[in-house]
A = this chain, B = another copy of it.
């Protein structure tokens, strides 16, 4: 099985890290505080020296876990995709109607925070902020092909495949399940960011769940089930 259902323990592709950060106290400290720091100063101003100061450990120790800050970002986003897939499988267990399962997927993607399966080493609320504002920088880079060859985008691809499969259950011969899925996932992130920083690029009104409504409607109308 792709993940364990008891305590959430994400499968992260080993080529992303040098030493598994979940295998030690220092590693978990790196994860926890990198989320805090990236969220606070942004990915460009984040670096291992600052993180080292924050956790009172030498910069060089962090380099023993991750090649560079890009790999750390890749780790965090892979963790996130694994976590979303876990929550999705949990929520959709025993649900037969694929339309309902698809709607659940959009709900989780739009509002992924949850109290009950929060881990002690990662604040999922802050992680989500990093995801919608920084995660695309994990693949919008020159060496994307090399990283992809090494399997470093596995978790994102796996989630996209899972959602595409739900779409195929609804409309077996729909020709663009992956495009539809990534359009919605990336779209959700953009709309959240725009609603906070570039309001005239969106239509979200205060307190309204416009983003959820919009993408649910978009995807269901596209599949002719609405």
Q: Which residues of A contact B (CB under 8 A)?
A: 41-42, 44-45, 133-134, 136-137, 139-142, 144-145, 148, 153, 156-157, 160-161, 175-180, 182-183, 186-187, 190-191, 193-194, 197-198, 200-204, 210-211, 214, 217-218, 221-222
Nearest CB in chain B: distance from A133 CB, A:
6
Say yes or no: A142-B194 contact (C-beta < 8 A), given A160-B200, A179-B210, A222-B221. no
Nearest CB in chain B: distance from A185 CB, A:
9
Interface of A is mostly: helix
Q: What 12 additional pairs, Cβ within 8 angstroms, besides A133-B140, A180-B214?
A: A42-B141, A136-B136, A137-B137, A139-B198, A145-B197, A175-B203, A175-B210, A176-B210, A178-B200, A179-B202, A179-B214, A182-B190
Number of copies of this kind of chain in the complex: 2
Task: Find chain B residues with CB under 8 A from A214 CB.
Answer: 176, 179-180
